[in-house]
Amino acid sequence: MKDLDRLWAPWRMSYIESSKQDKEECIFCVKPRENRDEENLILKRGRYAFIVMNLYPYNTGHVMVSPYRHVPSLVELTDEEGMEVMKLVALSIKALQHAMNPHGFNVGANIGRIAGAGIAEHVHIHVVPRWAGDTNFMTVVSGTKVMPELITDTYKKLVNSLSKVE
Mean pLDDT confidence for 4-29:
62
- Round the average pLDDT of the chain to a whole number and report it: 86
Q: Which alpha helices (DSSP H) does the chain contain, by range?
A: 12-18, 27-34, 79-100, 137-142, 151-165
Q: Which of 53-57, 58-62, 83-87, 133-137 has the lowest mean pLDDT?
A: 133-137
Please report how many Cα atoms fall inside a 13 Å half-sphere around the Cα of residue 112, on the Cβ side.
3
- Give residue 16's pLDDT band: very low, low, confident or very high (50, 70, 90): low
What's the predicted TM-score (pTM) here?
0.82
Give the residue from 44, 42, 73 showing the smallest Cα distance to 163. 44
pLDDT beyond 70 at 145? no
Instruction: Give the pLDDT of residue 149.
Output: 83
Architecture in CATH of 27-155 = 2-Layer Sandwich (3.30)
pLDDT beyond 90 at 7? no
Could you tell me if 146 and 117 are in contact, meaning their C-beta atoms sit under 8 angstroms apart?
A: no
- What number of other Cβ atoms are within 10 A of residue 40's Cβ? 17
pLDDT beyond 80 at 69? yes
3-class secondary-structure state, position 135: coil
Kindly list the catalytic residues. Answer: 124
Side chain identity at residue 8, one-letter code: W
pLDDT in tens, 116-142: 888 999 999 999 999 987 765 445 445
Distance CA 88, CA 91 (A): 5
Instruction: Give the pLDDT of residue 143.
Output: 59
Give the residue from 7, 107, 22 showing the smallest Cα distance to 58. 107
Distance CA 46, CA 101 (A): 24
Side chain identity at residue 61, one-letter code: G
Ordered by start, the domain boundaries in the chain are 27-155
